[in-house]
Chain A
Amino acid sequence: MLNFATRRFGLSLLILFVAVTVMFLMIRAVPGDPVQIMLGPRATPELQAQLTAALGLDQPIWKQLLIFYGNLLQGDLGTDVFSGRAVTDIVFQQLPYTLELIFASILWSATLGIGLGAYAAAHPNTLIDRIAAAISVSFVAAPAFVVALLALLVFAVHLQWFPAIGAGDGFLDRLDHLVLPAFAIGLSWVGYIARLVRASMLEVMGESHVRTARAFGIAERRVVMVYALRIAILPVVTVIGVGMGFLLSSAVFAEIVFARPGLGKLVIDSITTRNYPIVMGSVLISTALFVVSTALADLINALLDPRARTAH
Chain B
Amino acid sequence: MKIEWTNANIGRRRFLKGATALGAASALPMGWANRAFAAEDGVLRVRAYGDAQNMDPAHSVGVVEEEVHASIYNKLIQYKPGEEWGWQMDAATMIEQVDPTHIKFALRDDIGFTNGFGAMTAEDVKFSMERIVDDATDSPNKPDLGPFSHVDVTGEREGTIVLNSPFAPIWSIALPYITGNIVSKAAVEAAGGRIGADPVAESGPYLRDSWSPKEKTVLKRNPDWKGDAPAWDTVEIYPIDDENTAEIAFEAGELDVTRVSLGSVERYRAGVPNGGSLVEKPSLYYVWMGMNVEHPKLQNQKLRQAIQHAVDVPSILEAAYFGAAEPATGIIAPGLAGHRPSSLVPPQANFEKAAQLLAESGETNVTLTLDTLNKTTFTTTAQIIQATLAQIGITVEVNVLESGAFWASGDNENLQLVLNRFSMTPDPYYATSWFTPEQIGKWNWERFNSAEFNEIHETAAGETDVAKRAEMYQRAQDLMEESGAYRFITHEATPVVHSARVTPALRPDGLSLFRYFGKAT
* A residues apposed to B, CB below 8 Å: 30-33, 36-44, 46-47, 50-51, 80, 82-85, 90, 93-94, 123, 125-128, 130, 152-153, 155-157, 159-167, 256-262, 265-266, 269, 271-274
* Contacts A41-B443, A47-B140 given; does A256 touch B242 at CB 8 Å: yes
Within 8 A of A (CB), among B25-56: 29, 32-35, 37, 51, 53-54
Residues of B within 8 A of A265 (CB): 214
Residues of B within 8 A of A161 (CB): 29, 32-33, 35
Interface centre among B35, B135, B214 (most CB of A within 10 A): B214
Would you call A50 and B138 a contact (CB within 8 A)? Answer: yes
Closest beta carbon of chain B to A258's beta carbon, Å: 7
CA distance A128 to B249 in the complex (A): 38
Residues of A within 8 A of B463 (CB): none
Would you call B54 and A84 a contact (CB within 8 A)? Answer: yes
* Contacts A127-B3, A259-B238 given; does A160 touch B252 at CB 8 Å: yes
Residues of A within 8 A of B213 (CB): 90, 93-94, 261
Would you call A42 and B141 a contact (CB within 8 A)? Answer: yes
Would you call A160 and B215 a contact (CB within 8 A)? Answer: no
Besides A31-B405, A165-B249, A259-B245, 13 other A-B contacts (C-beta < 8 A): A40-B61, A40-B140, A44-B142, A80-B53, A83-B196, A85-B196, A123-B8, A157-B248, A161-B35, A256-B241, A261-B214, A269-B241, A272-B402
Q: Which of the residues B7, B37, B51, B408 comes within 8 Å of A163, measured between beta carbons?
A: B37
The 9 tightest CB contacts between A and B, nearest first, are A32-B404, A261-B214, A84-B196, A127-B8, A43-B140, A127-B6, A83-B53, A31-B405, A83-B197
**Which A residue's beta carbon lies closest to that of B404?**
A32
Would you call A164 and B53 a contact (CB within 8 A)? Answer: no
CA distance A82 to B215 in the complex (A): 17
Within 8 A of A (CB), among B237-253: 238-242, 245-246, 248-249, 251-253
B407 at the interface (CB under 8 A from A): yes
Residues of A within 8 A of B215 (CB): 166-167, 259-261
Q: Which of the residues A83, A126, A259 comes within 8 Å of B240, measured between beta carbons?
A: A259
The number of residues on chain B lying at the interface, defined by a beta carbon within 8 Å of a beta carbon of chain A, is: 54
CA distance A259 to B236 in the complex (A): 14
B326 at the interface (CB under 8 A from A): no
**Which A residue's beta carbon lies closest to that of B412?**
A31
* Contacts A31-B405, A165-B238, A259-B238 given; does A160 touch B34 at CB 8 Å: yes
B212 at the interface (CB under 8 A from A): yes
CA distance A156 to B135 in the complex (A): 50
B254 at the interface (CB under 8 A from A): yes
**Which A residue's beta carbon lies closest to that of B56?**
A84
Q: Which of the residues B194, B249, B434 comes within 8 Å of A164, measured between beta carbons?
A: B249
Residues of B within 8 A of A37 (CB): 404, 407
B403 at the interface (CB under 8 A from A): yes
CA distance A40 to B141 in the complex (A): 9
CA distance A163 to B215 in the complex (A): 14
Query: At the interface, is chain B mostly helix, strand, loop or mixed?
Result: loop
CA distance A261 to B33 in the complex (A): 26
A-B contact pairs, 15 of them (CB 8 A): A42-B140, A42-B141, A42-B144, A43-B140, A44-B140, A83-B196, A126-B8, A127-B8, A152-B248, A157-B248, A163-B37, A164-B254, A259-B246, A259-B249, A273-B404
Would you call A41 and B434 a contact (CB within 8 A)? Answer: yes
Q: Which of the residues B61, B245, B252, B405 comes within 8 Å of A30, measured between beta carbons?
A: B405
Residues of B within 8 A of A94 (CB): 213-214
Residues of B within 8 A of A40 (CB): 61-62, 140
* Contacts A84-B194, A127-B8, A258-B245 given; does A163 touch B252 at CB 8 Å: yes
Would you call B245 and A39 a contact (CB within 8 A)? Answer: no
Would you call A272 and B404 a contact (CB within 8 A)? Answer: yes
Would you call B249 and A82 a contact (CB within 8 A)? Answer: no
* Contacts A47-B140, A94-B213 given; does A160 touch B404 at CB 8 Å: no
* Contacts A31-B405, A160-B253 given; does A165 touch B245 at CB 8 Å: yes
CA distance A93 to B408 in the complex (A): 31
Residues of A within 8 A of B141 (CB): 42
CA distance A41 to B433 in the complex (A): 11
**Which B residue's beta carbon lies closest to that of A34?**
B404
**Which B residue's beta carbon lies closest to that of A155?**
B29
* Contacts A41-B443, A44-B142, A84-B54 given; does A126 touch B6 at CB 8 Å: yes
Would you call B216 and A166 a contact (CB within 8 A)? Answer: yes
Residues of B within 8 A of A156 (CB): 248, 252, 254
Would you call B197 and A85 a contact (CB within 8 A)? Answer: yes
* Binary contact track B432-452/A, C-beta < 8 Å → 1, others 0: 001000000001000000000
B227 at the interface (CB under 8 A from A): no
B393 at the interface (CB under 8 A from A): no
B143 at the interface (CB under 8 A from A): yes
Q: Which of the residues A128, A157, A273 comes within 8 Å of B8, measured between beta carbons?
A: A128
Would you call B408 and A31 a contact (CB within 8 A)? Answer: yes
CA distance A256 to B403 in the complex (A): 17
**Which B residue's beta carbon lies closest to that of A48?**
B140
CA distance A37 to B140 in the complex (A): 11
Residues of B within 8 A of A266 (CB): 214
**Which B residue's beta carbon lies closest to that of A257?**
B245
Would you call B252 and A157 a contact (CB within 8 A)? Answer: yes
Residues of A within 8 A of B61 (CB): 38-40, 82
Residues of B within 8 A of A273 (CB): 404
Closest beta carbon of chain B to A179's beta carbon, Å: 9
Residues of A within 8 A of B214 (CB): 94, 260-262, 265-266, 269
Would you call A32 and B212 a contact (CB within 8 A)? Answer: no
Residues of B within 8 A of A269 (CB): 51, 214, 241
Would you call B242 and A42 a contact (CB within 8 A)? Answer: no
**Which A residue's beta carbon lies closest to that of B216?**
A166
**Which B residue's beta carbon lies closest to that of A90?**
B213
* Contacts A125-B7, A163-B252, A164-B254 given; does A32 touch B405 at CB 8 Å: yes
Closest beta carbon of chain B to A295's beta carbon, Å: 29
Q: Which of the residues B138, B246, B404 comes within 8 Å of A274, measured between beta carbons?
A: B404
Closest beta carbon of chain A to B449's beta carbon, Å: 19
Residues of B within 8 A of A84 (CB): 54, 194, 196-197
Residues of B within 8 A of A163 (CB): 37, 252, 254
Q: Which of the residues A50, A130, A160, A257 comes within 8 Å of B33, measured between beta carbons?
A: A160
Residues of A within 8 A of B251 (CB): 157
Residues of B within 8 A of A274 (CB): 404
Residues of A within 8 A of B403 (CB): 32, 272
Residues of A within 8 A of B407 (CB): 32, 36-37
Q: Which of the residues A33, A50, A257, A271 comes within 8 Å of B408, measured between beta carbons?
A: A33
CA distance A152 to B247 in the complex (A): 11
* Contacts A83-B54, A85-B197, A165-B254 given; does A159 touch B238 at CB 8 Å: no
CA distance A200 to B212 in the complex (A): 45
CA distance A46 to B142 in the complex (A): 12
